[in-house]
Amino acid sequence: MSLNQPDIRELKSLVDWAHTTTDVRELSIKYGDVELFVSRNERTAAAPSPAAPAAVPAPAPVAAPAPVSAPAATATAVAPAPAAAPPSAPAAAAEDEVVITAPMVGTFYASPKPGAPEFVKVGDRVTADSVLCILEVMKLMNNIEAKVDGVVTQILAENEHAVEYGQPLMVIKRDA
């Protein structure tokens, strides 16, 4: 089984998430014949380490042709970037507002299942442990919690659409 570009992106997002969260000390992933082991511990077993480089060379050949075949696309890719910047604008929100961002690459779900009511709507009061949405990553459903008490003022992500790591999902006005 070989990895394709979306598989590599999902694996990278999991590793990035494990790197940014404080809850994970070690992450071991087996995907087909590729094994990946990441640890924050000082000493790790030597056997899992060679498996990680096996996954690294795969993206290089896939990623290299895209920039070479489309140097002009790089110039046009710069133009859409400002269009993507406005969703990040809430990051500069008022001091009493908290921007909830995607902790990983995945698919945003506003409700627990299709046809069910959304977890939250604009104007809803939430507590720190309120579930705001679900991010699906490789068929794993991850609840995203508010982490603050307040009122939802904006929902920036679209239901059932892909979101990137760090992308703003919602804005919550913190209780005074």
The residue extents of the domains of the chain are 5-76, 87-174
CA 140 – CA 138 distance, rounded (Å): 5
- What is the pTM (predicted TM-score) of this model? 0.51
CA-based nearest residue to 126, from 163, 89, 154? 154
Whether 111 contacts 119, CB under 8 Å: yes
The CATH classification of domain 87-174, taken from the options 2.40.30.10, 3.40.50.300, 2.40.50.100, 2.40.110.20: 2.40.50.100
Predicted confidence (pLDDT) per residue in 28-65, tens digit: 777 777 777 777 665 544 444 444 444 444 444 444 44
